[in-house]
């Protein structure tokens, strides 16, 4: 079974909440948010936003892809995520990544940009230790404590941690520490090669990848034809990330009619992907309609036995 989540753009609160409820009703498995402290465009704080979904949903999982753990004290992140998991009845999926494309937010948070990878690697271990142990002790490069506890513990003790990224360091981290992996802006052949690297890292660490989730963040635009969808895709992402996405459209976009988009997603499934995070690219006013179309015309193609 292929899983499907939706990563939403920013809307006024009432519209955001209504859209999340609609996603649950039409069969999405999860709802996701990105994470930045400071970004090119307005963005809600990720864990606060997910917490706001708890009382208005019942089934759908709540995920962040990906939380920039290096920007926060890992003990505080452990406390916040444990609370969110308990309040949601065990529905948290904690995606973690290094980031770094916006060095100013590292300056803002007082974190050396060059330390971000090491901080994330250690921070994952800190979070899991605090989720699991009572009392907990940890002696690392950036974090040290002895015989402390955070309570209440997460509902499932250890919520899944999915590692985001494309670099060799991120792939090794996913293999050594992750319960899943989230890629973005890659092609199917590189996706398959990346999974080989993750498996090798897991084997080197003596870890089994049983139950490991292989996910892909999909920048998708469904339209009446490829060219119309492409224009929207390029315009929105170029503004969002402050760079020209025109050269990237045919390489990295999932663009076109529902049939064309399904064909492109099938290449990722063949490469080993078992979970798609759908980021519907277009005018925010059209996001609901796109996600409805995806649910009606694309999801069933991947869920038919």
Tens of pLDDT, residue by residue over 89-110, are 999 999 999 998 899 999 999 9
- DSSP strands (E only) in the chain: 3-7, 30-33, 61-68, 92-97, 136-139, 144-148, 161-164, 180-184, 213-222, 254-256, 275-280
CA 141/CA 256 separation, integer angstroms: 48
Q: What is the mean pLDDT of residues 239-264?
A: 92
Is the separation of the CB atoms in 45 and 10 below 8 Å?
no
Q: Does residue 304 have a pLDDT over 80?
A: no
Vertex 182, ends 262 and 18: CA angle to 5°?
A: 70
Q: What is the mean pLDDT of residues 206-227?
A: 95
What is the SS3 assignment for 202? helix
Residues 58-83 pLDDT 10s: 999 999 999 999 999 999 999 999 99
Residues 184-202 pLDDT 10s: 999 999 999 999 999 999 9
Residues 141-169 pLDDT 10s: 999 999 999 999 999 779 999 999 999 99
Whole-model pTM: value is 0.96
Rg (CA), the chain: 19
CA atoms within 13 A on the CB side of 7: 26
Strand-pair partners of 79: none
Average pLDDT, rounded, for the chain: 96
What is the SS3 assignment for 246? helix
Q: Does residue 272 have a pLDDT over 80?
A: yes
Which pLDDT band holds residue 305 (cuts at 50, 70, 90)?
Answer: low
């Amino acid at each position: 079974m292929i899983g499907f989540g939706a990563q939403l753009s920013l809307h006024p609160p009432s519209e955001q909440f209504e859209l999340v409820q609609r996603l649950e009703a039409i069969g999405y498995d999860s709802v996701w948010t990105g994470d930045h402290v400071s970004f090119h465009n307005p963005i809600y704080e990720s864990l606060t936003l997910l917490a706001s979904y708890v009382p208005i949903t019942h089934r759908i999982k709540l995920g962040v892809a990906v939380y920039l753990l290096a920007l926060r004290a890992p003990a505080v992140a452990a406390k916040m995520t444990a609370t969110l998991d308990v309040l949601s009845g065990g529905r948290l999926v904690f995606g973690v990544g290094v980031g770094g494309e916006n060095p100013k937010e590292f300056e803002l948070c007082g974190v050396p940009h060059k330390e971000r990878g090491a901080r994330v690697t250690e921070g994952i271990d800190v979070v899991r230790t605090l989720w699991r142990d009572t009392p907990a002790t940890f002696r690392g490069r950036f974090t040290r404590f002895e015989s402390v506890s955070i309570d209440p513990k997460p509902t499932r003790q250890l919520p899944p941690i999915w590692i985001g990224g494309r670099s060799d360091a991120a792939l090794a981290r996913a293999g050594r520490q992750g319960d899943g992996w989230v890629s973005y802006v890659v092609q199917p052949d590189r996706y398959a090669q990346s999974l080989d690297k993750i498996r090798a890292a897991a084997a080197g660490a003596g870890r089994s990848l049983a139950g490991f989730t292989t996910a892909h963040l999909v920048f998708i635009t469904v339209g009446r034809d490829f060219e119309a969808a492409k224009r929207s895709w390029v315009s929105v992402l170029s503004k969002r990330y402050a760079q020209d996405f025109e050269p990237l459209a045919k390489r990295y976009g999932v663009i076109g009619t529902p049939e064309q988009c399904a064909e492109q997603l099938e290449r990722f499934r063949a490469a080993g992907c078992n979970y798609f995070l759908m980021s519907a690219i277009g005018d925010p006013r059209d996001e609901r309609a796109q996600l409805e179309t995806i649910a009606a015309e694309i999801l069933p193609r991947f869920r038919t036995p």
